[in-house]
Structure 1
Amino acid sequence: MFKFTKLKYLNNLNKSLGSNNEVLKNISRSLKTTSTKHFTNDEIKTSKYTTFEEMTAIRRIEAQKSLLVQVNSENSHKELCSYCSQFGKLKSSFYYNLSEELNFILLEFDEISGCNEALRSSSFNEDNPAIPVISPFLWFKARDTNKPKSVNQNKEMPHLIHQTIKCLDENKLYDILSSAESIDDQILILHRLTQLNDLGLRIRYLAGHQLEMALNGMFPNIQACLFGSSVNGFGKLGCDLDLILRLNDNYKTISGSRLIYHTKMSRLNGRSQTQRQMEVIGDLMHIFLPAINNVRKILNARVPIIKYNHECLDLDIDFSMSNMTGFYMSELLYLYGEIDERVRPLVFCLRKWASLVGLTNSSTPGRWITNFSLTVMVLFFLQNIKKPILPSMSVLIKSATPNDIRVTEDNINCTFLRDLNKLSFKTENVESLHHLLLQFFEFYSTFNFQQNGISLIEGRPITKPDHSAIWITNPLEPLLNVSKNVSYEELEKLKMETRNAAWILESTIEKNKDPSSWGLMSLFQSKKRIVKPEMFFKSRLVDVTDLFKDDSIKDYDKISYKNTAIKSTVKQIQKTTQREISKFMKNI
């Protein structure tokens, strides 16, 4: 798929990220052992797929077997493992730090029973007046110097894996990209160094498990369902966590049981009941749960949510109690990412480019394209090239089995094939990432947005149903446009930037004397735009005094009138307007 021939790249990688970084070692190892430049039919993934539900189940179990322990430094690893091994066999351990004072080790036990035993054996701080709460977040107390040191020398200790949960420094990333041998290599490196890693996924599921543990006594069927970029395979390091808190899922009827729990019916309607439940849970989190800070309730939004920050994970989290549509949408995107291994690197590259040229703005909602819309556009493009890489969603729907039927409480049909091992679609496309990237820019620079809409369901352009600037069909709710917020100005900017990118990419295929200005670097760091939207759209920000200049009023004198009565009336209006403007200008 890709190869590197220069030792310089690996040296730069080690200098930039540090020799102890486990991800770095894995990348270096894979780069040394691969040799082919382009994808071939044999290289396209043929192994057994892991379904979204299987992946979710695996990660949930990992969270149930894990503890996050605050330690003095990574040097505490051996002593911590020695102490915890008395509760059960340890499977893995991860280290990260948020600052010099905040160091954490995530320990995973081989069995859930070992983790539970460690929690039962843990105590509370007698000097802290706070109410005791059990959670998977602990700190490792210094050893009592009066007691003999107990170390289980015979116990096998897991290797400590160093991973970061923070985004890589932009300058370091660019240094690494500039040392690559080809644009294909750059795209793959960008993906590998910015994607959400194993530790990032583990701590996100641990955050969900914390809520389940806290509320399990009252709600035995509670489940924190993660969705969005954290689980759909398109999440980057540091991305926010979205989860749906379900209180009444997985009811189990015990055969032959005649004892039935009393429950309390609410007199509130569905939305009001959800808002009240979230308000109470938000208060519990804010008052009692450790490491949860800055809880904000946004309950009057279209979808009520609670936002909070987790200080041990350096993570911003949103949770709702809405229907499962978002969860199934994440599953759909995950499946498309699994079908072909070129999909995710291409999406990561295009998201990075769109952010740098100002097409997307993930921090603030507005009239621009969202990352979700951009991802759908990439998938749609891969459905529409000469040799399609991805099937239409209608193929997934037609291939669905009775086990794939999913309908939300709002009667939204989310049925499609879940097991890709049963998918009959096979691609014959063996093009490189570089050529796919160039084709993406060419595809959308000439796409007829005025007449056509984008539909993953059909897998081809459809007639646009309304006059929105861009129509992108919601794959699970076909009557909705996920890009309804995009303005015509942003559409023109999209077309211009794709034209620019296509020209730049074709002009800088090979390395030149300046390694920082070729390939992706020319896209990401180019400050000279070939065409600027300002050439066609004037800025909305104007000086209010420009609206009331005398020159615009004097223009009335140049107009000739056949009817003298009208001329007299216009002049009278002009004098009155000038007086009103003068009063207004004095007051501003």
Structure 2
Amino acid sequence: MFRLPMFRINSDPSIWPVENVAKYSSYQYPGKLCVKANLSIRPSVPSSKEMTSILMSCQSFDDQVSTFYHLTRLTELDILARFVLSDSIEEILGFIFRGTKVSIFGSVLNGLGSVSSDVDLVVKLPLNYDNLQYLRDTKSNYLTSDLYRTKIISLDPDCLKNRFLSFLQMMLKKLDPLGFKYSRIYTGRVPIIHLDQIRVLEVGLDISSLTKSTSMNNGESKHCGTKMAEILHFLTLCIPEIPKSVALIKYLARELRITRNGPSPGFTNFKLISLFINFLQVSNYAPSFIRLQSLIENSITLDSTSAFSAYTHFPDLNPFPSIEDVLSNFLVYVCSIKPCDIIIDLRNGCLTPRLESTSTEYTDHVIPHRRHYVLCPDPTYPQCNIWSGINEDHWSSFVQICRALQDTLKIQCNKNENSKWGLLALTDFDDCTKSKFVNVPDYYHLVDPIQS
């Protein structure tokens, strides 16, 4: 009888089988993943009231941001739990499509995630579907009865490629009916399965699949998100102050309702991170992606213990400033640039005038400049604009927020025993004011869910 492997994700992480230890340890994350039988996933971060009390007791703005970062950062066991989730899905799919690979990318790997960050997975299907596991048994169990016999055998490779996410969504619902009950499929440049929350991890989940359209020129499939995660991870090792700064930017964006949970063609953490990284590059606090990729290709390895010496690779960089100065200068940067006139160039680490870009590398890539108010080519996939979906009105609202933050930062950054200060004061706007900044509901019609 055809039987699938056990789905290891259940309500008690302490009994999740941890396998493929060599695979987990191959990821060069700061520190070595401590593989234990008991994952001991910690409880959620402090409540809003508890967090306020903790931050009010800090002695400086920098102390507040550092405390917030360490309270919300991913621990090694948090990361390991996400690897187990990825590996379990890969193991089950591998019984149906031999050679299937499931990889983690995004904030879990790039060093810029928090305990509340969504888990991003990409499924790489084998190029040859001839080794599909057909289900021939007549005594089908509750998983195989209607899930595979009628859904897989009838799919030829071309059809399967287009319907794979629907099949995967149905499979996950069968494996965990309660956990994946409210999953949805969203269309877009990269269609995904989205789940608002994996209950046991209390975070969202996004799953995409790798198709021929995302293959590299040499024929080897490569998801641009995994490559970007690799570069950003290397950057955080080179400049260990960056994760704390990014945690601040993401916190302000969520509290001020610039970003929201789930897929969005509007403002996202990834867009804001790309803008912040470019600010660091323009200010000579961070290297261009060309220089980072050169080190990666030359097999330069870094870990958390050697990160302090990273400036030996980039001796021309300016010393990283205080967190208050970083935020202040970033706000000035946002308010001063005119996106319609420039290209946010992560690859070269600069702001390139659009008129001059006609004679540069961007002429080889199909990104119609006039169609995008904010243009930031993905350095790993230049045909893609990271900031797609943001128009002039959205940007103007974003600048309005930054100007309000500038005013607050000037007068509320120092410790105050009697009222909210520092990080808490920066988000202490009333709901009516927040709603005027970015009209989030306007974005919803841009996301087209497929009813499965």
In the superposition, the TM-score normalised over structure 1's length comes to 0.54
Quickly say closer, same or farther: Cα 1:467–1:419, change in 2 above 3 A. same
Distance 2:163 2:407 in 1: 55
Structure 2 letter corresponding to 1:434: E
Match of 2:258 among 359, 369, 375: 359
Question: Comparing 484-493 with 352-361, which one deviates more in the overlay?
Answer: 352-361
User: Separation in 2 of the partners of 1:356 and 1:247?
Assistant: 38
Q: How does 1:134-173 map to 2 (within 5 A)?
A: 163-164=42-43, 166-173=44-51
SS of residue matched to 1:230: helix
CA distance, structure 1, for counterparts of residue 430 and residue 179 of structure 2: 41
User: SS of 1:480's equivalent?
Assistant: strand
1:319 aligns with 2:207: yes
Q: Which amino acid in the other structure matches residue 236 of structure 2? A: G
1:208-357 aligned at under 5 Å gives the runs 208-248=86-126, 263=131, 272-288=159-175, 292-294=179-181, 296=183, 298=185, 301-308=188-195, 310-322=198-210, 323=214, 324-357=223-256
Partner of 1:480: 384
How far off is 1:523 after superposition?
Answer: 0.4
Structure-2 change in CA distance of 1:390 and 1:217 (3 Å): same
State the distance in 2 between where 1:299 and 1:268 align. 21
Q: Percent identity of the aligned residues?
A: 20
Shift of 1:398: 4.1
Structure 1: state its 5+ residue gaps.
1-65, 71-102, 114-156, 252-260, 404-416, 541-588
Asked whether the equivalents of residues 39 and 77 of structure 2 are also in contact (C-alpha less than 8 Å), the reply is no
Q: What do the CA deviations read for 1:147-176 (whole angstroms, capped 9, x no partner)?
A: xxxxxxxxxx99995612x34322211211
Contact 2:278 2:345 in 1 (8 A): yes
One-letter identity of the residue aligned with 2:259 = T
Alignment check: 8 A CA contact 1:362 1:371 kept? no
Deviation sequence 1:304-339 (CA, Å, 0-9, x none): 433456444444423222241121122222222222
The answer on whether the counterparts of 2:41 and 2:78 sit within 8 Å (CA) in structure 1 is no
Alpha-carbon distance in structure 2 between the residues aligned to 1:475 and 1:376: 10
1:506 to 405, 410, 417: 410
Change (3 A) 1:281 1:337: same
Q: Is the 8 A contact 1:279 1:297 kept in 2?
A: no
Q: Is the 8 A contact 1:295 1:306 kept in 2?
A: no
Contact 2:96–2:132 (CA<8 Å) still a contact in 1? Answer: no
For structure 2, the 5+ residue unaligned runs are: 1-6, 23-35, 134-152, 215-222, 355-368, 443-452
Write the mapping of 1:387-406 to structure 2, written as runs, cut at 5 A.
388-399=284-295, 401=297
Cα contact 2:331–2:403 (8 A) shared by 1: yes
Pick aligned residue for 1:517 from 409, 413, 420: 420
Change (3 A) 1:529 1:495: farther
- The AA in structure 1 aligned to 2:397 is K
Q: Distance in 2 between matches of 1:206 and 1:111?
A: 9
Q: Distance in 2 between matches of 1:158 and 1:531?
A: 45
Per-residue deviation, 1:392:
0.6
Query: Structure 2: how far apart are the matches of 1:111 and 1:532?
Result: 47
Greater C-alpha Rg: 1
For 1:203, what is the secondary structure of its paired residue? helix
CA contact (8 A) 2:343 2:353 kept: yes
Identify the match of residue 400 of structure 2 among 496, 515, 519: 496
SS where residue 321 of structure 1 aligns? strand
Matches within 5 A, 1:26-37: none
Q: Contact 1:359–1:493 at 8 Å: present in 2 too?
A: no
The SS at the match of 2:110 is: coil
Structure 1 residues 456 and 529, CA gap change in structure 2 (3 angstroms):
farther
Q: Is the 8 A contact 1:68 1:106 kept in 2?
A: no
Of residues 446, 454, 466 in structure 1, which corresponds to 2:344? Answer: 454
CA deviation after TM superposition for structure 1 residue 247, in Å: 3.9
Question: Deviation of residue 528 (structure 1)?
Answer: 10
Distance in 1 (CA, whole Å) between partners of 2:20 and 2:204 is: 29
Match of 2:276 in 1: 378
Equivalent residue of 2:205, what SS?
A: strand
Q: In the alignment, which residue of structure 1 is the partner of 2:141? A: none
Contact 2:408–2:425 (CA<8 Å) still a contact in 1?
A: yes
2:85 equivalent to 1:207: yes
Q: Mark the CA change 1:531 to 1:301 in structure 2 (over 3 Å): closer, same or farther.
A: closer
Following superposition, the deviation at residue 488 of structure 1 comes to 1.3
CA contact (8 A) 2:267 2:390 kept: yes
Q: Which residue pairs with 2:146 in the alignment?
A: none
- One-letter code aligned to 1:105: S
Deviation at 1:438, TM superposition (A): 1.3
8 Å CA contact 1:69, 1:105 repeated in 2: no
- 1:334 maps to amino acid: H
Q: In 1, distance between residues paired with 2:422 and 2:186?
A: 46
Deviation (angstroms), 1:485? 0.8
Q: SS where residue 243 of structure 1 aligns?
A: strand
CA positional deviation for 1:190: 1.4
Residue 374 of structure 1 and its aligned partner are, at CA, apart by: 0.3
Residue deviations 1:17-58 (CA, integer Å, cap 9, x gap)? xxxxxxxxxxxxxxxxxxxxxxxxxxxxxxxxxxxxxxxxxx
**Which residue identity does 1:196 align to in structure 2?**
L
SS at structure 1 position matched to 2:51: helix
* Cα 1:507/1:159, change in 2 over 3 Å: same
Q: Which residue pairs with 2:52 in the alignment?
A: 174
- The number of residues matched between the two structures is 369
Letter of the structure 2 residue corresponding to residue 393 of structure 1: F
